[in-house]
Homo-oligomer: A and B are copies of this chain.
């Protein structure tokens, strides 16, 4: 596992890779905000996806997974927010199929190349009349409107755009995601989309996506709840004209680093914009017995309500951190755990260190808080991201009415 850090890829202003178009509009699913959109490639793109492990997988998630798994190709996606089309039974499934057919006709492509993605309230049926009326209003733009059309309680869209070279060909990779509450991914989280004009085989893209989701999207948590609609889809349409990426080549490494960087940045943007969040919390676990332990401990710490509330209160309450570590089944040498917050050592060998509380408290006012834990038990790392637990989290979720 690689810690998420900057790679040699170059961040650039938002733009779509060559051959990708999209749109986002308001059709009345939400009061006034954008709630409906699409994203497509001019040609069929190599496609890969990861999907929620929630047993109540929503109809759109099930359908898109089915399409991608046929032969790892996809050309277009229809997106909406406000209604998740989850726990909607046979009618929900038929509605997802209807959406697929409608977009296939609009793009004049085979329905098997179309996926759908919905997010929002569980248990309600899609207002198909609004969607039917909305479809003709979608036009192929190069704007970022679609990144707004999937938001729920998010305060802003999550976007990343990078460029890099593969065998002398300039490649663009653009990702966007939504997600604010009900975030505790298993295998993947929320809605995430990565588009690139790189040329790569679909099966290889699937392997790379699955590997990179494990230590990015799967390592964020906002509230410990796993949604029924989670999915991350990656499309590569080959417009960059690079020789198709092969394993064990420099191009593979560059592309993999870029994908990991884009997914990692989107995951952190989601955690930072968690419901009610005022701070992004990053936990780095060092010298774990193995990666599983490191990841488990890091995620447990950023997921602890008590740790999250203490960080909201700018309180260096390391007792809650060490208690959270001990509550896991990770291999721990209970007499040799070190803890630091924002680079200031609080605990060495599991015992309190004298520290400048005022200085630590002050540093906890920053929008990003970093917790470093050293388990002195091996050489593996773990890393996870979350946010603080605030009054607004409670407010948002006590009043997000059915």
Interface residues of chain A, those whose CB is within 8 Å of chain B, are 53-57, 84, 86-89, 121-124, 181-182, 184, 186, 223-228, 303-306, 309-310, 312-313, 315-320, 322-328, 332, 334-335, 347, 350-352, 357, 389-391, 393-395, 397-402
Contacts and interface: CB of A to CB of B under 8 A. Distances in A.
Contacts of A323: 54, 56, 86, 122, 182, 225-228
B310 A397 contact: yes
Nearest to A56: B326
Nearest to A330: B55
A315 to B, nearest CB: 5
A87 B304 contact: no
Contacts of A124: 352
Contacts of A335: 89
B305 A224 contact: yes
Contacts of A357: 402
A197 B3 CA distance: 59
Number of identical protomers: 2
Contacts of A186: 327
- Tell me the interface secondary structure of chain A in the complex: loop
A74 to B, nearest CB: 25
A87 B322 contact: yes
A309 B393 contact: yes
B226 A56 contact: no
Nearest to A307: B225
A37 to B, nearest CB: 23
A318 B402 CA distance: 8
Contacts of A89: 335, 350-351
B402 A54 contact: no
A312 B87 contact: no
Given A122-B323, A186-B327, A352 B87 contact: yes
Given A182-B306, A227-B323, 6 more contacts: A53-B327, A55-B326, A87-B347, A89-B351, A226-B323, A313-B399
Nearest to A392: B394
Nearest to A388: B398
A173 B12 CA distance: 71
A334 B225 contact: no
Contacts of A334: 55-56
A327 to B, nearest CB: 4
Contacts of A325: 55-56
A401 B350 CA distance: 19
Contacts of A312: 394, 398
Interface-central residue, A228, A310, A323, by most chain B CB under 10 Å? A323
Given A309-B393, A313-B399, A224 B227 contact: no
A318 B394 contact: no
Contacts of A318: 123, 402
A315 B224 contact: no
A225 B324 contact: yes
A171 B184 CA distance: 49
Given A182-B306, A334-B56, A391-B391, A86 B319 contact: yes
Contacts of A53: 327
A397 B122 contact: no
A106 B306 CA distance: 38
A125 to B, nearest CB: 9
Nearest to A224: B305
21 contacts: A84-B319, A87-B347, A87-B351, A87-B352, A123-B318, A182-B306, A182-B320, A224-B304, A224-B305, A225-B305, A225-B324, A225-B327, A226-B327, A312-B394, A313-B398, A315-B398, A316-B402, A317-B402, A319-B402, A389-B398, A393-B394
